[in-house]
Structure 1
Amino acid sequence: MRQLFIAFLMVFAVSAQAETRDPLSYFFQPKFGDFHAELQTAREQGKKGIFLFFEMDDCPFCERMRSTILNQSDVQDAYRAKFLLYPIDVNGDTQMTDFQGKQTTEKAFALANRVRATPTMLFIDLDGKLVTRYVGPTKDKAEFLLLGKYVAEGSYASEPFTKYKQGK
């Protein structure tokens, strides 16, 4: 009986471990640096918008999001089905094009979007307009999934996320 229990635990541990995947490969899409063009890609793919994850090196909350939420296969699948997903380095000097077609850097783009803390998550609609801002890490995977559902359903147009959460 004990051996059967140990075998069960080992199988469960392996299956639970198999449900995590590297967020850089499975959550975020490759970034080409032209968000103006990415809006058209999002439209063509039938997405609801673009999700931006503003982060920086040595941010413990960003790392916690990556290692406990963004690495979960169900989170990756749910978000990839509805949004194009991109990380933005708030200290980055990488050249990019913003949603209006203007050349900028990641750092200047973060400042222009009033990113003052990391992580900051922005949801952009298909017209390049900010529809939802979430500052700081979500409490857990369930809250992060609920945040994506809130935006995908368009609930941001009628109520704040805190009120939406209370009704769920």
Structure 2
Amino acid sequence: MPSWFTDSFLDVAEDAQDALDENKTVLLYFHLDGCPYCDAMLTQNFKSGENLAFIKKHFSVVAVNIRGSREITMSESESKTEQALSEMLAVKYTPTIIFFR
């Protein structure tokens, strides 16, 4: 993942507040290791390309592996693994982008 992606503690509410403080929107980038389409999106949009400056300016990007085991906190009473969150949000294909504000 690019070094400029948000260094998140995977607390979505906290990430959303931090992004709001910077006048940005949280962009959850759902990916899968080894996915050629994910690699293409990273290369063409997050590492270079004409949209890179726009994305950096307007979005706080958090990478989520759809088969990952890191805990993501959704609220004080709810946390899920990356995989469980992907299932809850019905992410079936990668890459998938979901915006949080």
TM-score by length of structure 2 reads 0.87
Q: SS of 1:62's equivalent?
A: helix
Give the Å deviation of 1:84: 1.0
Query: Is 1:84 equivalent to 2:60 in the alignment?
Result: yes
Unaligned ranges ≥5, structure 2: none
Output aligned runs, 1:122-137, within 5 Å: 122-124=98-100, 126=101
Aligned to 2:2: 24
Output aligned runs, 1:51-66, within 5 Å: 51-66=27-42
Higher relative contact order (CA 8 A, sep 6+): 2
Query: Is 1:40 equivalent to 2:38 in the alignment?
Result: no
Give the Å deviation of 1:75: 2.8
1:62-100 Cα offsets, whole Å, 9 max, x none, are 0111122221165332112111111100000011202x3
Aligned length: 100
1:40-67 Cα offsets, whole Å, 9 max, x none, are 11121122x2111100111110011112
Give the partner amino acid of 1:114.
A
Q: Percent identity?
A: 25
CA RMSD of aligned residues (A): 1.6
Give the Å deviation of 1:114: 0.6
Aligned to 2:92: 116
- Greater strand fraction, Structure 1 or Structure 2: 2
- Greater helix fraction, Structure 1 or Structure 2: 1
Runs of 4 or more off by more than 6 Å in structure 1? Answer: none
Give the partner amino acid of 1:36.
A
Contact in 1 for aligned 2:29/2:64 (Cα 8 Å): yes
Q: SS of 2:41's equivalent?
A: helix
| Aligned mates of 2:17, 2:45 — CA distance in 1 | 28
| Aligned mates of 1:29, 1:77 — CA distance in 2 | 15
1:139-164 Cα offsets, whole Å, 9 max, x none, are xxxxxxxxxxxxxxxxxxxxxxxxxx
| Aligned mates of 1:24, 1:104 — CA distance in 2 | 24
